Structure 1
């Protein structure tokens, strides 16, 4: 099966894990710090503004907790978003308020966010669909003007930027993912960007089971009783470890080659599918925008979309649609009508796009799509 997502892992990643095993320390330690430093350099921020966590989803939960989101609050987020984002809001007793998205880019514009913002809005939580930044700069300016916190779910956007500013650094908190379906893979894990010191301190305490960072080895080095500790908040064990960090750091060093290959495949798809009748490719990026090319999608009439997906599966080509509109899920209690998100969900199909695809596999996807749509 030609997959939509697939990690590219090799001897270098295996050797890095072997070094961690040989060190006798597989928990949070020097490799975690080294990866934090490397990731900070990659996105252009000070490493002390970063917090390593077990997953992007955990980072979103931590973000809602640290911002004090709770019952009576509302958090605006695009309907086409990851379920973990809405769960992070609902778990706090707050209300996820879903906004519409552009049916072509699947990203919200600032007007979409503004229409759903009200007096109870505590925060805005934005996904960059498929790695395209969308209207993040305008949304960030709007949130600053309104005094509303902005959280960026940058799981798809490890190398996305606007005007040289990395996605994930526009708001109060940004969160990235290194799970097995992402571009930089650690096996799992996530990273948070939190520039405000007080907010970052609240998160780091929660990450460490609510304990102060001065306990344990640091206390021993200072001559104190290292077995004593101070619990300052209710928290979980949410920090990353050296095994995940070692893999992810190697992956980060390979990111330029990954991005070059993904861009090459996206350009070939653009060229090969441009002349298909009734089929739309992803819209071009605005000037100054850089995409991570996490997803590539076609849009066509719903019945043709479904027939294409079924036939490609028979040919050994896996496709999907990410993400199902959350306002359609009864658990969140939404009764909103969001035509952009609904149109996108009914017409969009994500094709295989990862750096591990060879030319023959890309050719098989192209031939499969063109042959099927010629008869549908």
Structure 2
């Protein structure tokens, strides 16, 4: 399904970090943050790194002041870390429905799920499609709610000139081993208010007001090893080894996106008359081609997935509906998400796919369909 594209350039960058003998958080992390801020078109004071996107999400919840008694609305088709971050802060995840074809929530879906206790809204850009984030952001502003964007699927997605992840009060991105540009593990947090980033940097390093080290020694006349703690926090900072890989990967992001677009276009041409394929993006929207999904009648989907697996082609469904996960205690009835969960199959999609790989996926799906039915009634 996913595969990183790592090679000699990334290895050389890691070697340079090793040679420097400084492998913790240092100049490469600062460079990675600056490069990603420039990629997004935002000021560096609005962005900070974390060791994972999950930690960035937890930081966003804490900075947003989410806590007991609060409701947070999020799409049921969402990565579980967002719901975990809500629940771990003592708040209640309230799941909203999604469009059964795009798997993104609409503004109407979000509005229908709001409660008097709603403090914030989370949106995921499914498969890298922006969805209605602009309309949802306007709704949140109108209602006085905070918006947190899970842009892990959307490192290059935008509406017009505005990058996904920057429409809300907070946005998070992932660079783990399965994403488009990888740093093996790593995340980024964007905040509209730079004061949140200033506080976030302290929260990401144990709540320390200052840390001992060379820089502190330069500023203090004596006892530069002393520190104060402003909050009881975890340690979730990135390091220079991961950031060095991430810097190289950001430089290659354009070529990755080009190849993903080629694969997506080929799938579109081959599958358009056989199954339901991802809807085209609206004018002015740019996606990241993170997922490619087809939709089949429920009685065929699982059988086709098994046939493909036996042909050596792995498929999956992302993301299982969270309102069906017992741990969250939801009783919501969300028909759009249920429709999608019964019909959607995500196919291999990454820049490492060769033409032969793509042909194998196409031929495999066609053969699996032919073996199961003479025609697919959509």
Q: Smaller-chain TM-score range?
A: over 0.9
Structure 1, 67-76 or 191-200: larger mean CA deviation:
191-200
The aligned residue for residue 239 of structure 1 is 237
The aligned residue for residue 267 of structure 1 is 265
The aligned residue for residue 303 of structure 1 is 299
Q: In structure 1, what is the Cα distance between the partners aligned to 2:267 and 2:195?
A: 46
Shift of 1:92: 0.9
Report the TM-score, using the length of structure 2 for normalisation: 0.97
The aligned residue for residue 248 of structure 1 is 246
1:96-175 paired onto structure 2 within 5 Å: 96-175=93-172
Query: Are 1:331 and 2:327 matched, yes or no?
Result: yes
Unaligned runs of 5+ in 1: none
Report the TM-score, using the length of structure 1 for normalisation: 0.97
Counterpart secondary structure, 1:285: coil
Structure 1 runs (4+) deviating above 6 angstroms are none
The aligned residue for residue 283 of structure 2 is 287
The aligned residue for residue 74 of structure 1 is 71
Shift of 1:47: 1.3
Shift of 1:200: 2.0
Say if 1:218 and 1:226, in contact at 8 Å, map to a contact too. no
Of 334, 351, 357, the match for 1:355:
351
Q: In structure 1, what is the Cα distance between the partners aligned to 2:59 and 2:339?
A: 32
Say if 1:258 and 1:355, in contact at 8 Å, map to a contact too. yes
Query: Are 1:313 and 2:309 matched, yes or no?
Result: yes
Say if 1:216 and 1:229, in contact at 8 Å, map to a contact too. no
Give a deviation string over 1:189-245, Cα, whole Å, max 9, x none: 001111313322221111011001465433211134210111111111111110010
Say if 1:215 and 1:230, in contact at 8 Å, map to a contact too. no
Say if 1:106 and 1:341, in contact at 8 Å, map to a contact too. yes
Counterpart secondary structure, 1:230: coil
Give a deviation string over 1:269-314, Cα, whole Å, max 9, x none: 00000111xx200000000000000000000111211111000000
Q: In structure 1, what is the Cα distance between the partners aligned to 2:4 and 2:197?
A: 31
Of 47, 53, 58, the match for 1:56:
53
Aligned length: 371
Q: In structure 2, what is the Cα distance between the partners aligned to 1:217 and 1:208?
A: 17
Counterpart secondary structure, 2:105: coil
The aligned residue for residue 205 of structure 1 is 202
Unaligned runs of 5+ in 2: 373-378
Q: In structure 2, what is the Cα distance between the partners aligned to 1:356 and 1:44?
A: 28
Q: In structure 2, what is the Cα distance between the partners aligned to 1:303 and 1:73?
A: 40
Counterpart secondary structure, 2:371: coil
Q: In structure 2, what is the Cα distance between the partners aligned to 1:37 and 1:339?
A: 42
Counterpart secondary structure, 1:122: strand
The aligned residue for residue 366 of structure 1 is 362
Q: In structure 1, what is the Cα distance between the partners aligned to 2:82 and 2:242?
A: 23
Counterpart secondary structure, 1:270: helix
Say if 2:45 and 2:197, in contact at 8 Å, map to a contact too. no
Give a deviation string over 1:106-156, Cα, whole Å, max 9, x none: 000001001111210010011000000000000011111111010001100
Shift of 1:371: 1.0
Two-structure CA RMSD over aligned residues (Å): 0.9
Give a deviation string over 1:67-126, Cα, whole Å, max 9, x none: 111111000000000011100000011100000000000000001001111210010011
